């Protein structure tokens, strides 16, 4: 079973930037498309960003489009989420997810097979 490890969360002020990273605990060839989801207290987990295996295609919901950027470095086996112009409503636990079945950037949770433990992002007003 592939284990994903997220890093980079923390406490920032509104308008600040933060970068998250996600990598498997050991190098594996079974990870293709990768995505970020988040879950705020009392809310359902929601899609944040996805990137195809090639890195060419990405997907974002309107709530983060233009502020968040997902990227990947396959040589380092790492996916990044650059978050700019953060808002208090971005406060959540952020989860990395990877698929062993699809190479496309998909927004649906059921496309992803491996999940990280999550990293807390808190944005104060």
What confidence tier does 43 reach under pLDDT thresholds 50, 70, 90?
Answer: very high
Length of the chain: 125
Instruction: Give residue 34's pLDDT.
Output: 96
Which residue has tokens 């997220």?
A: 6
- Residues 61, 5: contact at Cβ < 8 Å? no
Per-residue pLDDT tens over the stretch 6-32:
999 999 999 999 999 999 987 776 789
């Amino acid at each position: 079973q592939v284990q994903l490890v997220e890093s980079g969360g923390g406490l920032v002020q509104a308008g600040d930037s933060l970068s998250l990273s996600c990598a498997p605990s050991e190098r594996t060839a079974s990870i293709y498309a990768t995505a970020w989801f988040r879950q705020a207290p009392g809310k359902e987990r929601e899609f944040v960003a996805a990137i195809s295996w090639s890195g060419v295609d990405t997907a974002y919901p309107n709530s983060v489009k233009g502020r968040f950027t997902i990227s990947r470095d396959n040589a380092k086996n790492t996916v990044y989420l650059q978050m700019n112009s953060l808002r208090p409503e971005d406060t959540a636990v952020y989860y990395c997810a990877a698929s062993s079945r699809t190479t496309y950037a998909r927004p649906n949770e059921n496309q992803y097979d491996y999940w990280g433990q999550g990293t807390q992002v808190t944005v104060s007003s």
